[in-house]
Structure 1
């Protein structure tokens, strides 16, 4: 483990010592991986790179005593892992130099501060223009622009670089966006979620025994594990050995993703719930008053002989109290005027009540929508931070009814909820009555996605008291704690579905794969395992090159889904673009087709399988 750096000042930082390995020697330089961050993602990413990919890793942490610093320090103290640690308060040029960025092959910036990550990325690119950068950025629009800026630096040094290689030089990822599909899939259970690849929609459908997929099946992703078997044995099985009498998850090809329609300009009041502006009691009162005016008009028409429209005009004037007394009218006319005046007296409080009720509803509608009284079968989303905002967007894309809960009215996702016209309950989900207001007792699922593990757990337990069979998905930062909570809730509520998810656990494989220079197109959660959909180059890969599509399939590890038909210099740098106008993938390629050097394929793979595919190492034969 490295010794803490010397004290520094803001203008003239003192030189940092060279990183020290866990064994006390100087770590090898050149070709290693550098991670800057002290959070859960940095810890999980270091484990992924060291254990799955066998890489030498140097982690630059702000503190070894706070956050995940002690856990990262424990990795460096483990002689079985090649991990080194540097403690520094700021990721400046001195810290990057001490970590060996100039000789490193890849750098990951995992801090939750977008500006700090982008600043460090620019410094690192200046120190090593050939460095592969993976930057965690929540603001995707800003990240894409900085990604283009960083790529131009590489292109200036290598003008003939292919688009695919340029794409791998800088990758901007969001941990919340990477983990969102798996969180939504866990909440919706049997309802599938979609991946957008090459302009096509790929749906992950969970099928009951005997059920057939609706779309074109691409791959059998998983089946129900047998009792006592290895949890990984049910992933990517050979379809010829699996019957249709077992529950299974299938990847389906549905069709082309249509570009989203252009938003139309609507009047300012178009989004208001007009039905709520006029309550049922007011509508009945208004209908009764209208009927009374029509009755008085008909009587006036019959008694006076005036035309109907003129009679109606006179009655309305009388109702409003602005007509002259009917001195020259007979007893019938005077009686009619008295009745009209009485109707006018009834109209005034009705109009005042209508105005006050509409004003209150208007204020509520322009602020936050409340859950309808008859709502049921919805998803309760607790926490509207970064992760909650991403999950809210995905649920709205799938047209799933949602009720949001957050104790902070200024949270990042509250404005998004207002944009989507989604009901929001402001309050602490752990307090009495808050989940009741969100109609959690009639919900189909609850997603607890706050940044506090205790709050998420308490909200889940409170929701289970309201609905013992409620499907619950917890966001927990500690992986071990997530596993313990999952088992405890499963044992306490055996008839309910419980899923515990760590965002770092779901996002780390995508970050690690990007550091290895491969493009991960999506992540699929199957039980507590993660399947990845990735685009790989077959050149020099012993598992792919020279093999047929059928022979390249490795049960429990990976399966080829599609073949890129475009020439290497014309390939799309981003197959995950959902609205591409030039699709280039051949899905379900001929099993007899031989993969050659220079081909690009899309595979569904486990994390361990991707490690072997990217490193070219052999796998032990399946038992």
Structure 2
């Protein structure tokens, strides 16, 4: 989702109809507390528009947030609470749009409600981690875009892990789409044609669906990824059991290694050595008749059944004393070793944590918002995944269980945890936890195990990410805020761009266009929104519903509030948004 230097600045055609202040410039307000507030502000400030920009940030920011003073011409207000008083001091009354990018869903929702009290006629762009809550929030406000930076960044991490230059996978309304050759996709998975060869050496972009006789296997199409996501959980578990049956020796060996704790094993071994040496000294210092008698005396002494015998010599008494003390330590250690070994072996065999049978898989570290989406999209694409998180109750733990993905609870910064995930036989490591130190250490440890491993690393500081990529020869170091900022900026300028698909020399935009009451598109059929070579309709969400119809009837009459999912060129998106917008001065109907 990197910015195209040749693209038209987002929203150029729409700034003219945004509400302006006395100085003739539309006013935008952004509220945030992490690096996303900086990257969105930078995107808007450098977009080439004549706008006024105000940032509302807390008095203390995260250490990875760049210096806000680098943003020229931007007004900065420090406030630890987003309420009506704060918004009035920020000049929200009369503003064109408000971006709420705080890293807390509830804070953003509360701020949106307060902002509506100050300026009811306001476009809201709200950051939400919980997509279910986001769907409900969108219906609360007349003009609102709810975005997830994690959902925007995940395709870039997926593409990087698979060795692709650009992100060609995107997840929209629970559906993962990807770019493929027509010959590699079954007709029932086809969403839209992206390119078509005319036979004379010319390539058409976003063509009308050609007749079967004219279709070329090399044409690019947008297709739906099914992978393993549609299979029931029992099928995923059956596949895991089948892999184990094919490699029983490796699985059993893995379980035995898991059963042996290193520290506990060393303690037991040291105690046994003390027992053997002391027993030998005791038997030598106080000879008994026969080998059995030697074992008998030693073991009874170990378990604490020895009597005080003052007639023995000093060496025998010392050996007996050491044996008795060693026995007191040995019995609990043996009991703990047996219990821990049984528990660990059972977990390894039954919970799907055994990853030794995997090869050419992707290891995902961190099952937070970004990691969970990366895991789901890789699974949709049919790629084997092994997940790691230090918390058993991580956000994506249930998703891993439902999809039959092996889930290792441990610290990815430790080499033994990475080895447990079969890092040596993996195709890539994707490190997307929320701790920069853990992420970098995991990446370096993985490279120590396998120097040629593809590593995709998430870092919060974009400048740090670029320097790490160069200094440590990491394949891809990315900042989620940098990946998501263009879409947030576009949404504030009244565009809802979901993803960018590079095709040949073109950048195709996947977007959702809302139909407003009184617009030229209101009352027309869906077929009139579909424009070959410019904008292709791929889905429709009816007014008041979040469900997307991926095979809509093109004869359907559009109504206010409908959202059209399209793949378009920049000019095609601009033309369709203008067609879906009401004429200047015409108010939107209530409830639209």
TM-score, normalised via structure 1 length: 0.57
Residue 70 of structure 2 is matched in structure 1 by 74
1:460 aligns with 2:443: yes
1:484 pairs with 2:467: yes
1:515 aligns with 2:500: no
Instruction: Determine the structure 1 residue equivalent to 2:535.
Output: 560
> Where does 1:375-386 land on structure 2 (aligned, <5 Å)?
375-386=358-369
Q: Of 552, 570, 577, which aligns to 1:583?
A: 552
Relative to 1, partners in 2 of residues 1:615 and 1:90: Cα closer, same or farther, differing over 3 Å? farther
Deviations 1:207-243 (A, max 9, x none): 6xx988776695658xxxxxxxxxxxxxx9899xxxx
Deviation for aligned residue 1:509: 2.1
1:46 aligns with 2:41: yes
How many Å apart are 1:402 and its aligned residue? Answer: 1.2
Shift of 1:446: 0.9
| Alignment map for 1:223-238 (pairs within 5 Å) | none
The residue aligned with 2:124 is 133
- Three-state SS of the structure 2 residue aligned to 1:52 is coil
Q: Show the 5 A alignment for 1:356-505.
A: 361-364=345-348, 368-488=351-471, 492=473, 498-505=475-482
Q: Name the CA distance, whole Å, in 2 between partners of 1:214 and 1:261.
A: 18
* CA separation of 1:196 and 1:88: change in aligned 2, threshold 3 A: closer
1:449 deviates by 0.3
Contact 1:58/1:84, CA 8 A, preserved across alignment: yes
- Asked if 1:252 corresponds to 2:222, the answer is yes
Q: Cα RMSD (Å) of the superposition?
A: 5.3
Q: Which residue of 2 aligns with 1:619?
A: none
Change (3 A) 1:585 1:430: farther
Deviations 1:434-481 (A, max 9, x none): 211111110111101012333323322322233333222111222233
- Tell me the residue number matched to 2:169: 193
Alpha-carbon offset, residue 517 of structure 1: 2.1
Q: What are the within-5 Å matches in structure 2 for residues 100-111 of structure 1?
A: 100-111=91-102
**Matched ranges for 1:45-124 at <5 A:** 45-52=40-47, 54=49, 55-63=51-59, 66-67=62-63, 71-75=67-71, 77-78=72-73, 83-124=74-115
Match of 1:182 in 2: 156
Is 392-401 or 257-266 further displaced after alignment? Answer: 257-266
Q: Which residue in the other structure is 2:16 paired with?
A: none
Q: Structure 1: which 5+ residue stretches go unaligned? A: 1-25, 152-165, 222-235, 240-247, 284-354, 542-547, 554-558, 587-597, 617-623
Provide closer, same or farther for how the CA distance between residues 603 and 56 of structure 1 changes in structure 2, counting only shifts above 3 A: farther
* Separation in 2, partners of 1:30, 1:487: 41
* Structure 2: gaps spanning 5 or more residues: 1-20, 196-203, 208-217, 253-338, 522-527, 556-560, 580-592
- Equivalent pair of 1:562/1:601 in contact (CA under 8 Å): yes
User: What whole-Å deviation, never above 9, does each CA across 1:496-547 have from its counterpart, x for those lacking one?
Assistant: xx222221122222222222222223344799x9863124579799xxxxxx
**Aligned counterparts of 1:96 and 1:504: Cα–Cα separation in 2:** 24
TM-score (norm 2): 0.60
What SS does the aligned partner of 1:441 have? helix
User: Which stretch of the first structure deviates more once superposed, 175-184 or 64-73?
Assistant: 64-73
